[in-house]
Amino acid sequence: MLVPVPEEYGYVGEFKNGLAIRNRGIDLDFMARVVDKPENFSWTTNVNLNINRNEVTALPNKLNQLVIGDRLLEVGKAGDAFWLYQNEGIFKSDAEVPVSGGVKLNFDGIPFQYGDPRWRDQNNDSQITELDKIVIGNALPKVFGGFNNRFSYKNIDLSIDLYFALGQKAINERAANKYNFINNESNNSISSIREIFHWQQDVDISKYPLYNVWSSINPYRVDQDLFLEDASFLKIRGVTLGYSLTKATFLERVKTLRRAYIYATVNNLYTFSKFSGRDPELVNFNGYYDGYGMPLTPTYTLGFKLDL
């Protein structure tokens, strides 16, 4: 990991070994025949649950805390937690900006003004710095797994496969970049190029306050809980409906026939989630959603199986 060094060295930092993370969890798998009457109706269900917890156990140079980008790693704490400013709305006038001891609330020396975001001053020192960030939410789900069911009635069968992830959070970086166009487009990098689909409305504008985008505070910075969302979801991964034609009268002449089966399948049918992005499964491993992942679109299949 990149560990800071004194500025007098002339370097940003030095790469050091020493990061250690412990993962512990439980995997559970249950299967049951809820109803078992082959001639009439049968129902088989399967549930698998996966629970995992991670903990930072050591940092380079025996440090207790280390800032890596927008993450604060701390010994004894989870390594997938977000480190964010706590957003409390917007300053609707200059008079609403608090003043303490003649010092106006400021962000690293820049005074807040009308149209700027309200970030909580956690230590009440009249200035917003990294010391006011809080550790909140986790990028990894607390519980994830599947719930699969198969129903059959005479020659008809129905399979429903569900996949879920609960207790995970995500940063909607796509929304942050959409609003923060002033700062993004002034950068000398490939990310400053305006996209050909920038005109598309893929962000829920009703969720976010209208800050002064020209403010030096950088009001739409991504490292605030304004863009932190619940990314838990339940997805209908697949549904298959089939019908056995093995005993059909028009196939009785085929003496070598062992099985004939026709089916229809749909994958990625629907996702139940509060997440405002296209799909919570497109959130990257760091817990950020940038909107560029390939969509998991529904696919439909018709098939016919014939065993001779």
Query: Over the stretch 279-288, which tens digit does the pLDDT of each residue have?
Result: 999 999 899 9
CA separation (Å) from 287 to 179, 226, 232, 257?
A: 19, 15, 12, 52
- According to the model, what pLDDT value does residue 168 have? 95
What pTM, to 2 d.p., does this model score?
A: 0.86
The predicted pLDDT at position 183 comes to 79
In this predicted structure, what is the pLDDT of residue 184?
76
List of residues 6+ apart from 50 with CB closer than 8 A: 25, 26, 27, 28, 143, 144, 145
Closest-CA residue to 227 (of 280, 174, 171): 171
- Distance separating alpha carbons of residues 278 and 296, to the nearest angstrom: 9
- Confidence grade of residue 196 (pLDDT, cut at 50, 70, 90): low
Q: What pLDDT does residue 294 have? A: 85
* 20 or 254, higher pLDDT: 20
Which whole number is the average pLDDT over 151-177?
Answer: 93
The model's confidence at residue 100, banded by pLDDT at 50, 70 and 90, is confident
How much is the pLDDT for 306? 82
Alpha-carbon distance 176 to 209, whole Å?
Answer: 12
Cα–Cα distance between 40 and 84 in angstroms, integer?
Answer: 57
CA dihedral 270, 272, 278, 283 (to 10 degrees): -110
Q: Per-residue pLDDT tens for 235-262?
A: 999 999 998 887 766 666 666 667 788 9
Distances (CA, A) of 19 to 61, 63, 80, 174, 258: 9, 10, 14, 30, 59
What is the structure's pLDDT at 38? 67
